[in-house]
Amino acid sequence: MIATLHGADLFALFVHFLLLSLLAVGGAITTAPDMHRYLVADQHWLTNAQFTGSIALAQAAPGPNVLFVAVLGYNVAGLPGAMATMAGIMLPSTTLALWAARWGRSRKETRGVRAFTSGMAPLTFGLLLSTGWVLAVPSRDSAGGMLLVGLSTVVVARSQCSPIWLVALGAIVGAAGYA
């Protein structure tokens, strides 16, 4: 069920995603734990199942990875919600990325730029790990689901296997009732 948000709530949704945009190092998916906190725990606009389903649906669809933000917004408040979340998540990060790319390209051999680039890798990894933990909530009570999460982590870390095969494996395990 889609809520009808008006003025102040839509603006608050926009501002929250605007702020998350500046933390989205490694992509918007890295801020999913805070999106979950805000949309599910604080505002109660979505349930756990709706949140996870929204991300799964958007990730299965072709197109940019950030589309899950539009699906979350749409499930919260229809088209105005999708527009608020997408504008919020895209405006600051796009502007900052364009500026930083131009600035960094002209200074790529400096010590500061190399240090910054090296320092962002562990941050990005930690954000992605916390996102995986939040998305694994439905599987945590299932040994098969947690085994699949662990197996997927190892395969992604140690091989060039396309993640689409892991998604397919997850679908098969879920359909068989093991996760």
pLDDT computed for residue 2 by the predictor: 65
pLDDT computed for residue 164 by the predictor: 76
What DSSP designation does 6 have? -
- Please tell me whether residues 155 and 79 are part of one structural domain: no
- Please tell me whether residues 107 and 149 are part of one structural domain: no
- Please tell me whether residues 100 and 143 are part of one structural domain: no
Instruction: Give the number of domains in the chain.
Output: 2
* Residue 38 pLDDT class (50, 70, 90 cuts): very high
- Please tell me whether residues 74 and 149 are part of one structural domain: no
In a domain, 79, yes or no: yes
pLDDT computed for residue 168 by the predictor: 80
Neighbours of 146 (CB within 10 A): 14
| Residue 3 predicted with pLDDT over 70 | no
Instruction: Tell me the residue range of the domain where 74 lies.
Output: 7-120
In a domain, 100, yes or no: yes
In a domain, 2, yes or no: no
Domain boundary among 73, 96, 120: 120
pLDDT computed for residue 178 by the predictor: 67
pTM of the model: 0.61
| Residue 124 predicted with pLDDT over 80 | no
**Could you give phi then psi for residue 107, rounded to 5 degrees?**
-130, 25
Of residues 109 and 1, more confidence is placed in 109
| Residue 65 predicted with pLDDT over 80 | yes
Nearest alpha carbon to residue 58 among 48, 49, 66, 46: 66
In a domain, 129, yes or no: no
Which range, 88-97, 150-159, 164-173, has the best average confidence (pLDDT)? 88-97
